[in-house]
Amino acid sequence: MPEKSVVPAKSYAPSREVEVGTLAAVAAYLMWGLLPVYWKRLSGVESLQILGHRIVWAAAFAVAALLATGRLGSLAALFRDRRRALYAAAASVLITINWGTYIWAVNSDHVVESSLGYYINPLVSVALGAIFLREKMDKWTSWAVGIAAAGVAIASIMIGRLPWISLVLATSFGLYGLVKKKAGLEPLAGLAAETLVVAPLAVAFLVARHAAGAGSFGGRDTVATAMLFLAGVVTAVPLLFFAAAANRITLTRMGFVQYVSPTLQFALGVFAFGESVGPPMIAAFAAVIGAVALYALTRGRAKA
């Protein structure tokens, strides 16, 4: 997405702004929902190495795109602004935690549990929007959130343990969305800043692994090498759509659109990767579908 094509939000009519933001959110979550297929092919690569390459190549992609569009100065301006630089650093930490946890979960056969995390995440987004941004929820949204929350809570109790993968994914990405919303960072410069903050650590780790003879990049598996290289593009594109959406629509709307992603992940975990699904996940899935249906069917009744 070339940066010069990004139109400032204020140039849109409000209805058009919401439409563009919603479409961007749907595109982002569709792509994220299919990502387990990509990471699963790299299951023979150490999870931290996948994370390191994802960070490095995403940073390279974002900086190259800024350079190609003549907007590299916007990145320098971002780092000169102390407030925005701090937001970028916070976003960097949060998205790194999220990426690392998710890659490990997928390659450790926990795709279904990771999908539970992204079912919980919209609830986190709605709560954060209400607490920090004073976004109001109509009664139908409140009911929908309550139903989904009850389903997730019951599922967690039935599992009999703290679903730490789900909670880490939900909390880290919910806070990441809040930071992006508060900062209002331009998508491409924001992505470049977020990845550049942690890129030196990623490079140091990858160099150390290669020096120890354990590096995967450039090895016999040429497909894996190509996929590690393309991890930057695979990472950047949905994040750019997400950033564009976060600057245009409420966290409440963003939260419910996000159910597209865990539904796809859940289906992949069960039907493509053969993971078992017990009563807890069935209960959570049923509650979430009911909540989404309630939310969708009552939009015409919601208060303006």
Q: What is the pLDDT of residues 238-284, one digit of tens each?
A: 988 887 887 788 877 776 787 788 889 989 999 999 998 888 878 87
Crossing angle of helices 72-80 and 47-68, rounded to 10°: 110
CA 225 and chain centroid, separation: 24
The CA distance from 61 to 94, in Å, is 20
Q: Residue 111 corresponds to which tokens in the numbers above?
A: 């795709």
Report angle CA 26, 32, 36 to the nearest 5 degrees.
Answer: 150
Q: What is the pLDDT of residues 39-68, one digit of tens each?
A: 999 999 999 999 999 999 999 999 999 999
The percent of residues in the chain predicted with pLDDT above 90, rounded, is 41
CA-based nearest residue to 247, from 179, 297, 296, 304: 179
Displacement of CA 25 from its chain's centroid (Å): 11
| Alpha carbon distances (Å) from 236 to 62, 88, 111, 258, 261 | 7, 15, 22, 18, 17
CA 156 to chain centre: 22
Q: From CA 215, how far away is CA 210, in angstroms rounded? A: 4
* Predicted TM-score (pTM) above 0.95: no
Q: Tell me, what's the pLDDT at 36?
A: 94
- Give the list of residues 6+ apart from residue 231 with CB closer than 8 angstroms, or none: 50, 53, 54, 57, 58
Cα distances from 296 to residues 119, 177, 256, 257, 291, in angstroms, run: 16, 22, 9, 10, 9
Kindly give, in sequence order, each residue whose CB lies less than 8 Å from that of residue 138, ignoring residues fewer than 6 positions away: 298, 301, 302, 303
What Cα–Cα distance (Å) separates residue 139 from each residue in 145, 153, 225, 257? 10, 21, 50, 18
pLDDT by residue for the chain (304 residues), tens digit each?
Answer: 344 444 444 444 467 888 888 899 999 999 999 999 999 999 999 999 999 999 999 999 999 999 999 989 989 998 999 999 999 999 999 999 999 999 999 999 999 889 888 877 877 777 788 778 777 777 887 888 888 888 878 877 887 777 889 889 999 988 998 888 787 777 788 889 999 999 999 999 999 999 998 889 988 889 999 999 999 999 889 988 887 887 788 877 776 787 788 889 989 999 999 998 888 878 877 887 788 778 777 766 654 4
Q: If residue 282 lies in a helix (H) or strand (E), which one and from where to where?
A: helix 279-297
Measured at the CA of 44, the angle between CA 241 and CA 105, to 5 degrees, comes to 55
